[in-house]
């Protein structure tokens, strides 16, 4: 050990000369970052970018798309707690903000008043000013000027003051606008219309008290003006209701039964709300899948509004899937062509198959670990396993 | 082999020790280091002027070693840019304008990712001051017009500075640490309208020119390829461009043990130098005495030109400095000692950038070559067949084995896997890389001289790359080709390298005691690793992982990890749990939907909406308001769970706010819990939460 240390630390003449040179270089290297600033011209503490940059920034700022929506834009009514993505976009919401709202809802978020819209991550003041008037929440309060958020605490239910009616009205007949003119608050007018659409009927004035949102004081104000006709008058068509855009897509009048896997474009177009475009998309989606396993899958067609799908749903009849994928023979391209299987999953299935042998039954796809339970349940109707000889 | 023949090897040791101390302590001590430098330098000069006694020559060595340690320490401290007085983080407000000079290759995915040097910062464009420091930028792009950024381009950016976040899950890859060793501590996201290029870089910049030339060559190369995957491999191999590598292809090469050929290193540089040397030797002038200087200058120019072209990665820098020394040694007719040249290149690179010591690429590059130099001659001697093909094959195999011996511990430490088929893949990959590199250089050379002339070589390159990819994919698909989820503790890594060093010394010096000591160290390391695995095997652990917008909870017990999730994809699940699986020595995985019951009551209770975890006593339901629970319990808060009013929050619990909660909902929970003085852990903000149940 002693010899090794001696050998390590002992420097010959040439090595000492080299070490001195290296020492000078290394000390210079250590000193360089500190001496560099003395070699450069002194700065004055601030640094001004060239004029051309400032004007370039100003021009870019002017050209920057303004955070406010481009005019003209029509902003329709919507319910942030219930409206679907398509309905929000139709109401004037930008798609990315509408997606943010839907995600907020899915995570358990709720809007109790219009100002709650400000909580959305992408909401700006400009957009709030445009979108807030169209907000229709069941217990909506008037738009407040304050921008602070009220965090939850015990919130006593407020009595909503109503407007005294100016004429008698029949809640079984009037449209929503007319009910509002008659003195009902908009949210209660909407609830009345919904109650009617669901098959309800007011047989006496006291039945109006049961409408959600109706308070004792408001009912007391309205009761003297309620006139209920004692005959089976059909309720007015609510398709002209401007606050419920989805109602324009009413269910078809004639009873139609469409086989979701056999119907051609003409049959799809017989349904109200389905035109040439939607019919073609539904059929294309069906072809890609190999057939619809459930009626609900028709609603997954890209671009088909949920309101339209709900309207046509009663007319749809399920039937067996047309075409299945053989897990043991399908190649990567055939698997990846299916809408429920991604390219990576297709490659992994083929690799798994080559490593572990053929699948015995479609449920064995769980063993690959590539799909969640929901995805497996969705995929199973499209899979089959042919017997393979090793 | 003596120290006198390897002076740089002698000098490297104290420099590395000093740099390592500086990195570990990270404490500036100018009151000690500056006077020490002055005193040591003066002492050195005195001892050099009066070298009469042998003792003085000994103390000269001690003094110089101490000086090298202080230099290493001081360089490591000074290199840490966050400590600089003019670092932008000290001056710039969180939301600010910055002038950034591009200092890296821009990578395009959903946004443009590039590292830059901040030159000025301030709250407004006309109120900026000069600053320094590196920054990681994510720039939003308009997909219709993706701008091209070159080295030295200046950008004006507006955004919010954010520190780079640490790992969100236990034993996950630490991106913050990885970037820290590149002196990048902050990042900034800028939308498409919040940044613009304000000036081009200087045309005289070598790196800028090299980047542009590489882009031009890549464009030529891309014409001969039909598939992105093969193009990515060829681009990485020939030009060192790794941004086009497909992740699946990268994984295939890593699993097969051939990842090293995708990094430009000594193999590539050696080939270039060999070809240049052969060409120059054909010309009489360069074989003469007068031609030695022009020959050396041409070789050095080509060498550093190729290094610049391929991005100056640590492996290329190592190879380029080594070959430079070889060229200079030949020029000055000096004897060449490979270990000394290896040490010299490491010395120079570490003196310039001490943080290279902590970068895996630098470590692997030097350890691989050290392993080859130490073990390949010994392995070759074991068998010397007469047949040339067998001889070359055995040499190649010995090369793979030796390189793997040098890099295996570090690879297992960083990447948690070991490719069992490295020897087989080495026999294919190394000659394959050689062929591909030759074809690539010839194709590009012909294309530059005569456009279109490179097509046949380019097509051959594409076919050969496709073939190599197929072989690697086949090797990857072989069962038990790779051992995954290996966890090596830091002290085990040191033990492994101490054992390897002793083994190499023992075999070279024929000292049986050193070999025995090496084997003893290996046995001790193996026993320690077994004890480590056994400890983790026995102790159960409950983990709430952080997965973006999802819930993922798990229980690790006796080599099995049970996971409950709400629709997490396979890739995200693997990303969140792979490091943890390696750390806990998990052999099997059971994945269940969130509402599946746990196997043991002590692991928790699913209430239909969230998890309740006992901390001592099993609690099966939310306690009614006003009840004081007999024991502490914890609850995982998920979407859909009703936020209690301030008065109705049960006391005596720990609340875990899941990542799946919307930020606004999570904020409301925090307000309610803070008002009720309840403890909570926000998984989205603070990362995964790990709990080890007590007895």
DSSP letter string, B450-508? STTTTHHHHHHHHHHHHHHHHHHHHHHHSTT-EE------HHHHHHHHHHHHHHHHHHH
Listed by number, the residues of chain B in 487-546 with a beta carbon closer than 8 Å to a beta carbon of chain A are: none
Residue A378 counted as domain residue = yes
The pLDDT score that the predictor gives to residue B76 is 93
Q: What is the pLDDT of residue A129?
A: 77
* Confidence band of B423 (pLDDT split at 50, 70, 90): confident
> Is residue B237 domain-shared with residue B344, that is, in the same domain?
yes
Chain B residues touching residue A108 (CB < 8 angstroms): 639-641, 661-662, 665
Looking at the domain assignment, is residue B300 inside a domain?
A: yes
pLDDT digits (tens, 9 = 90+) for A240-295: 434 333 333 444 445 678 888 888 888 888 888 888 888 888 988 888 888 888 88
Residues of A in contact with B58 (CB under 8 A): 6, 9-10
- Per-residue confidence band for B347, with pLDDT thresholds at 50, 70 and 90: very high
Instruction: Name the range with the highest mean pLDDT among A122-131, B147-156, B298-307, B639-648.
Output: B298-307
Question: Under an 8 A CB cutoff, do A19 and B60 touch?
Answer: yes
Residue A120 lies in a domain: no
Encode pLDDT of B640-664 as tens digits: 667 776 666 666 567 888 888 877 7
Pick from A55-59, A270-274, B25-29, B625-629: least confident: B625-629
Residues B283 and B430 in one domain: yes
Residue-range definition of the domain harbouring residue A10: 2-35
In B, minimum Cα distance to A30 occurs at B75
Q: Confirm whether B1 is domain-assigned.
A: no
- Domain boundary (A202, A223, A248) is at A248
What is residue B61's DSSP assignment?
A: H
Minimum Cα–Cα distance from A19: chain B residue: B64
Place of tokens 């994510």: B138
Query: What is the least distance, in Å, from the CA of A306 to any CA of chain B?
Result: 23
Distance from CA of B641 to the nearest CA of A (A): 7
Same domain for B358 and B437, yes or no, is yes
Q: Do both A214 and A238 map to the same domain?
A: yes
- State whether A354 and B477 contact (CB < 8 Å): yes
| Residue A147 falls inside a structural domain | no
What pLDDT is stored for residue B77 in this prediction? 92
Using CB atoms, pick whichever of A6, A108, A152 lies closest to residue B58: A6
Same domain, B174 and B102: yes
Does the residue A363 lie in any domain?
A: yes
pLDDT at site A233: 44
Interface of B with A in 662-681 (CB under 8 A): 662-665, 668, 671-672
Are the Cβ atoms of A57 and B125 closer than 8 angstroms? Answer: yes
Q: Determine whether the interchain pair A7/B3 forms a contact, defined as Cβ–Cβ distance below 8 Å.
A: yes
- The percent of residues in chain A predicted with pLDDT above 90, rounded, is 0
pLDDT band at A47 (very low <50, low <70, confident <90, very high): low
- Residues A303, A333: one domain? no
Domain boundary residue among B138, B169, B201? B201
Q: B402 with B504, same domain?
A: no
Contact A20 B44 (CB under 8 A): yes
Q: Tell me, yes or no, whether B225 lies in a domain.
A: yes
Residue indicated by tokens 């820290």: B180
- Alpha-carbon distance B237 to nearest alpha carbon in chain A (angstroms): 25
Per-residue pLDDT averaged across B224-230, rounded? 85
B630 pLDDT band, cuts 50/70/90, is: very low
Domain count, chain A: 4
Amino acid B613: pLDDT: 63
CA distances from A311 to A251, A263, A274, B315, B472 (A): 5, 17, 10, 65, 54
Query: For position A294, what pLDDT does the model report?
Result: 86
Claim to verify: residue B323 and residue B431 sit in the same structural domain: yes
Alpha-carbon gap: B270 to the closest alpha carbon of chain A (Å): 28
Rounded Cα gap, residues A247 and B10, in angstroms: 86
Q: Least CA distance to B80: which residue of chain A?
A: A33
Give the sign of the dihedral formed by CA A368, CA A374, CA A375, CA A380. Answer: positive
Residue A302 maps to a domain: yes
Say if the Cβ atoms of B41 and A27 lie within 8 Å. yes
Q: Which domain holds residue B351?
A: 210-364+418-483
Considering the domain architecture, whether residues B325 and B377 belong to the same structural domain is answered as: no
* Domain identity same for A242 and A275: no
pLDDT at B616 over 70: no
Residue A52: its chain B contacts at CB < 8 A? 198
B450 pLDDT above the threshold of 80: yes
Same domain flag for B473 and B534:
no
Q: What average pLDDT does this structure show over A358-374?
A: 85
pLDDT the model gives residue B623 = 39
Task: Count the Cβ atoms, other than its own, within 10 Å of residue B316.
Answer: 26
- Is residue B680 in some structural domain? yes
Question: In this complex, do B61 and A11 lie within 8 Å of one another by their Cβ atoms?
Answer: yes
Cross-chain Cβ contact A8/B641 below 8 Å: no
Q: Indicate whether B545 and B662 sit together in one domain.
A: yes
Residue at a domain's end among B440, B455, B483: B483
- Residue B58: which of A9, A18, A109 has the nearest Cβ? A9
Chain A neighbours among B 107-126 (CB < 8 Å)?
120, 125-126
Res. B594: pLDDT tops 60: yes
In-domain check, residue B2: no
Considering chain B, what percentage of its residues have pLDDT values greater than 70? 89
**Is the pLDDT confidence value at B65 over 90?**
yes
- Gyration radius of chain A's alpha carbons: 35
User: Phi and psi (nearest 5°) for A271?
Assistant: -80, 140
B625 — pLDDT class (breaks 50, 70, 90): very low
Over the stretch A62-98, which tens digit does the pLDDT of each residue have? 544 444 444 445 567 788 888 888 888 888 888 778 8
Q: What is the pLDDT of residues A119-156, one digit of tens each?
A: 776 677 777 877 887 888 865 443 333 333 333 333 33
Q: Say what the pLDDT of residue A242 is.
A: 40
Place of tokens 């190499």: B504
Min Cα distance A149 → chain B (Å) is 11
- The mean pLDDT value of chain A amounts to 74
Residue A354 lies in a domain: yes
Q: What is the pLDDT of residue B11?
A: 94
Give the closest of B643, B662, B671 to A103, CB-based: B662
- Average pLDDT of the residues of chain B: 84
Cβ separation B128–A22 shorter than 8 A: no
Q: Tell me which chain A residues have a C-beta less than 8 angstroms from the C-beta of B10.
A: 8
* pLDDT digits 0-9 by tens, B258-289: 888 888 888 888 888 888 888 888 888 888 88
- Rounded Cα distance, A340 and A345, in Å: 10
Q: What are A146's two structure tokens? A: 């304050």
Q: Out of A99-103, B164-168, B439-443, pick the least confident.
A: A99-103
Q: How many residues in chain B?
A: 695
Taking CA atoms, what residue in A is nearest to B76?
Answer: A30
Determine the pLDDT at residue B64: 93
Give residue B58's pLDDT. Answer: 83
A45 lies in some domain: no
Residue B550 CA from chain centroid, whole number: 28
- Is residue A332 located within the same domain as residue A378? yes
Chain B closest-CA separation from residue A372 CA (Å): 6
| Residue B583 pLDDT exceeds 60 | yes
The SS3 assignment for A358 reads: coil
Do residues B641 and B661 lie in contact, with contact meaning Cβ atoms separated by under 8 Å? no
End-of-domain residue from the set A248, A270, A295: A248
Q: Which secondary-structure segment (H or E) carries B686? A: helix B683-686
- Reported as a single tens digit per residue, the pLDDT across B99-125 is 899 998 888 777 889 999 998 888 877
Residues from chain B that touch A80, judged by Cβ atoms under 8 A, are: none
Domain co-membership, A285 together with A330: no
Inform me whether the pLDDT recorded for B241 exceeds 80.
yes
Domain boundary among A287, A317, A347: A317
> Looking at B331-394, which runs of residues are DSSP E strands?
none
For an interface test with A, give the residue of B664, B667, B670, B684 to mutate (most A CBs within 10 A): B664
| Inter-chain residue contact B78 with A33, CB threshold 8 Å | yes
Point out the residue among A12, A109, A373 whose CB comes nearest to the CB of B665. Answer: A109
Note whether residue B424 is domain-resident: yes
Rounded mean pLDDT, A337-359: 85
Q: Above pLDDT 70, what percent of chain A?
A: 72
Burial class for A79, CB neighbours closer than 10 Å (0-12, 13-18, 19+): buried
CB contact under 8 A, B58 and A151: no
The pLDDT, as a whole number, for residue B206 is 82
Partner A contacted by B249 (CB < 8 A): no
B356 and B371 fall within a common domain: no
In a domain, A357, yes or no: yes
Query: Same structural domain for residues B618 and B650?
Result: yes
| B684 and B573 within one domain | yes
- Structural domains in chain B (count): 6
Residues of A in contact with B351 (CB under 8 A): 26, 29
- In this predicted structure, the answer to whether residue A158 has a pLDDT above a threshold of 80 is no
């Amino acid at each position: 050990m002693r010899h090794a240390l001696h050998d390590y630390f002992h420097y010959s003449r040439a090595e000492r000369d080299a070490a001195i040179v290296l020492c000078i270089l290394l000390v210079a290297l250590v000193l360089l970052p500190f001496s560099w600033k003395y070699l450069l011209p002194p700065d004055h503490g601030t640094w001004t970018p060239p004029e051309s940059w400032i004007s370039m920034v100003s021009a870019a700022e002017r050209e920057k798309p303004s955070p406010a929506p481009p005019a003209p834009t029509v902003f329709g009514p919507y319910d942030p707690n219930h409206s679907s993505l398509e309905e929000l976009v139709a109401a004037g919401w930008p798609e990315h903000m509408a997606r943010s709202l839907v995600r907020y809802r899915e995570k358990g978020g709720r809007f109790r008043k219009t100002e709650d819209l400000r909580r959305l991550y992408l909401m700006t003041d400009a957009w709030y000013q445009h979108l807030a008037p169209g907000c229709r929440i069941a217990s909506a309060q008037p738009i407040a000027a304050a921008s602070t958020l009220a965090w939850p605490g015990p919130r006593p239910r407020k009595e909503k003051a109503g407007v005294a009616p100016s004429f008698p009205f029949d809640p079984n007949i009037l449209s929503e606008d007319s009910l509002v003119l008659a003195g009902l608050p908009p949210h209660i007018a909407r609830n009345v219309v919904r109650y009617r659409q669901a098959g309800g009927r007011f047989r006496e004035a006291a039945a109006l008290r049961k409408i959600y949102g109706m308070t004792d004081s408001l009912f007391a104000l309205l009761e003297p003006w309620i006139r209920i006709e004692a005959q089976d008058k059909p309720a007015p068509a609510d398709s002209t209701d401007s606050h419920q855009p989805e109602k324009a897509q009413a269910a078809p009048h004639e009873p139609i039964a469409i086989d979701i896997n056999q119907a051609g474009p003409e049959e799809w177009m017989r349904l109200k709300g389905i035109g040439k475009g939607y019919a073609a998309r539904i059929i294309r989606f069906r072809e890609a899948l190999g057939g619809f396993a459930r009626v609900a899958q028709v609603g997954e067609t890209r671009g088909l509004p949920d309101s339209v799908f709900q309207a046509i749903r009663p007319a749809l009849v399920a039937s067996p899937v047309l075409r299945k994928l053989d897990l043991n023979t399908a190649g990567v391209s055939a698997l990846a062509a299916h809408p429920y299987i991604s390219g990576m999953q297709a490659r992994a299935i083929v690799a798994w198959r080559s490593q572990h042998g053929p699948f015995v039954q479609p449920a064995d796809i769980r063993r690959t670990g590539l799909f969640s339970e929901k995805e497996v349940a969705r995929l199973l109707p499209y899979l089959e396993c042919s017997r393979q000889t090793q | 082999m003596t120290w006198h023949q390897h002076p740089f090897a002698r000098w490297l040791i104290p420099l590395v020790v000093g740099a390592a101390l500086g990195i570990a302590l990270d404490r500036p001590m100018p009151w000690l280091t500056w006077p020490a430098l002055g005193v040591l330098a003066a002492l050195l000069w005195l001892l050099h002027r009066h070298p009469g006694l042998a003792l003085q020559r000994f103390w000269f060595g001690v003094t110089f070693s101490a000086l090298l340690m202080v230099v290493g320490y001081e360089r490591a401290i000074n290199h840490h840019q966050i400590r600089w007085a003019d670092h932008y983080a000290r001056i710039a407000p969180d939301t600010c304008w910055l002038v950034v000079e591009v200092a890296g290759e821009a990578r395009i995915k959903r946004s443009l990712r590039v590292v830059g040097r901040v030159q000025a910062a301030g709250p407004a464009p006309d109120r900026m001051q000069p600053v320094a420091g590196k920054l990681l930028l994510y720039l939003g792009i308009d997909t219709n017009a993706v701008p091209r950024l070159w080295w030295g381009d200046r950008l004006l950016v507006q955004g919010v500075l954010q520190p780079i976040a640490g790992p969100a899950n236990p034993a996950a890859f630490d991106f913050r640490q990885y970037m820290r060793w590149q002196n990048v501590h902050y990042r900034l996201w800028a939308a498409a309208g919040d940044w613009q290029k304000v000036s081009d870089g200087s045309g005289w910049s070598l790196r800028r020119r090299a980047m542009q030339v590489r882009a031009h060559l890549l464009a030529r190369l891309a014409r001969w390829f039909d598939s992105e995957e093969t193009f990515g491999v060829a681009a990485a191999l020939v030009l060192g461009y790794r941004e086009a590598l497909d992740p699946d292809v990268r994984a295939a090469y890593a699993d097969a043990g051939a990842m090293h050929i995708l990094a430009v290193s000594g193999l590539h540089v050696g080939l270039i130098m060999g070809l240049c040397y052969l060409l120059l030797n054909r010309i009489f002038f360069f074989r003469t005495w007068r031609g030695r200087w022009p020959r050396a200058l041409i070789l050095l120019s080509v060498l550093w030109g190729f290094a610049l072209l391929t991005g100056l990665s640590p492996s290329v820098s190592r190879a380029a400095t080594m070959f430079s020394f070889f060229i200079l040694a030949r020029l000055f007719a000096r004897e060449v000692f490979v270990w000394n040249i290896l040490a010299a290149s490491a010395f120079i690179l570490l003196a310039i950038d001490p943080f290279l010591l902590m970068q895996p690429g630098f470590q692997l590059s030097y350890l691989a070559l050290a392993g080859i130099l130490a073990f390949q001659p010994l392995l070759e001697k074991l068998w010397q067949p007469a047949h040339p093909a067998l001889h070359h094959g055995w040499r190649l195999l010995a090369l793979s084995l030796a390189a793997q011996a040098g890099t295996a511990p570090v690879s297992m430490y960083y990447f948690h896997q070991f490719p069992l088929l490295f020897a087989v893949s080495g026999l294919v990959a190394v000659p394959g890389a050689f062929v591909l590199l030759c074809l690539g250089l010839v194709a590009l050379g012909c294309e530059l001289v005569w456009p279109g002339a490179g097509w046949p070589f380019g097509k051959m390159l594409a076919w050969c790359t496709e073939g190599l990819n197929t072989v690697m994919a086949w090797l990857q698909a072989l069962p038990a080709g790779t051992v995954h989820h290996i966890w090596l503790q830091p002290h085990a890594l040191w033990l492994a390298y101490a054992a390897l060093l002793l083994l190499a010394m023992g075999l070279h010096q024929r000292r049986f005691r050193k070999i025995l000591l090496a084997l003893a160290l290996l046995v001790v390391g193996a026993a320690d690793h077994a004890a480590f695995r056994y400890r983790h095997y026995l102790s159960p652990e409950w983990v709430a992982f952080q997965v973006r917008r999802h819930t993922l909870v798990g229980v690790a017990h006796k080599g099995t990890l049970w996971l409950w999730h709400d629709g997490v994809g396979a890739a995200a699940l693997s990303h969140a749990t792979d490091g943890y699986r390696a750390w806990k020595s998990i052999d099997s995985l059971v994945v269940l939907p969130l509402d599946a019951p746990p196997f043991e009551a002590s692991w928790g209770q699913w209430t239909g909406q969230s998890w309740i975890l006992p901390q001592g006593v099993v609690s099966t339901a939310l306690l009614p308001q006003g009840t004081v629970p007999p024991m502490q319990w914890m609850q995982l808060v998920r979407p859909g769970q009703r936020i209690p009013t301030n008065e109705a929050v049960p006391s005596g619990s720990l609340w875990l706010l899941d990542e799946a909660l919307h930020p606004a909902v999570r904020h409301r929970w925090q307000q309610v819990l803070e008002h009720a003085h309840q403890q909570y852990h926000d998984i989205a903000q603070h990362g995964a939460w790990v709990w080890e149940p007590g007895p």
